[in-house]
Amino acid sequence: MAQLFNSAECELNYGEFAFSGPAEIDDAHIWVEARSPLEPQRAVYFSIAPLVIYRLAVLFFGGTLQQKEEHVQSGKGLTDTEQRLLLRLCQYQVDIWCACLGLGDLKWQLHVVPRDSIAHRQLWTTQATLQAGNCTHHWQMWLLPPEESISQVSHSLPEGQLEQVLTHVPVRLRVVMGQLSMTLADLECLKVGDVLSLDLPEVVPALIGSRPCFSGRIAEHKGSLVYQVATVVEE
């Protein structure tokens, strides 16, 4: 992020999430939609004022911001450079969000969209605050709330039949072998062939979603790396 805006002092923070609706945002704001073909039920939106995009573009080109508010012509569309910058900024945030939730690479596709295409219901929203170029920049990030569970139906299965069904529910076990800490600027500089040192911890957790299920260790068995369960996490 710091490299993107030519600033050694660049910090991005988010406020607490709250329910709100797109209709409460100024009509002049630009909207970006991020969707994943791998998980179509997920969607992330961003709304940002044209003035904020303009000021970030000034930093992107190595310029210096004035403390007074610049005037952006009403109804003026984004330039190609401003749109690419906006999509890149939003891509960074989606990647950070996925990393925090342990979702992996969901192949997000980002597009500038009209506000009318946004879901007409309450969304989770938070304000993003970026400190860059000795100025503060704000925009909103929006998330679709999870759908009501389809398990909330009027009828119920007998206990024995329910247990039989549950044994066939597919799950994805995620083994966390290690994590690396670096800045986004360092990450952007990586290229094919670069080598990162990875120290395997003695105890490696395995999770379903964000819930720990096992702890164990990485071992070798018949020439292949395997995960050896050491302890089972009790409910």
Q: What is the DSSP string of 131-182?
A: EETTEEEEEEEEEPPPPPPTT--S----HHHHHHHHTT----EEE-------
Amino acid at 162: L
Structural element, H or E, at residue 85: helix 80-101
Residue with tokens 């310029």: 63
Question: In this predicted model, what pLDDT tens digit does every residue of 48-83 receive, in sequence order?
Answer: 999 999 888 888 887 777 765 565 555 567 888 899
Share the mean pLDDT of the chain. 80
Please name each of the domains of the chain with its CATH number: 11-143 (3.40.1550.10), 170-232 (2.30.330.10)
Q: Considering the chain, what percentage of its residues have pLDDT values greater than 90?
A: 19
Write down the pTM of the prediction: 0.59
Q: Cβ distance 47 to 80 under 8 Å?
A: no
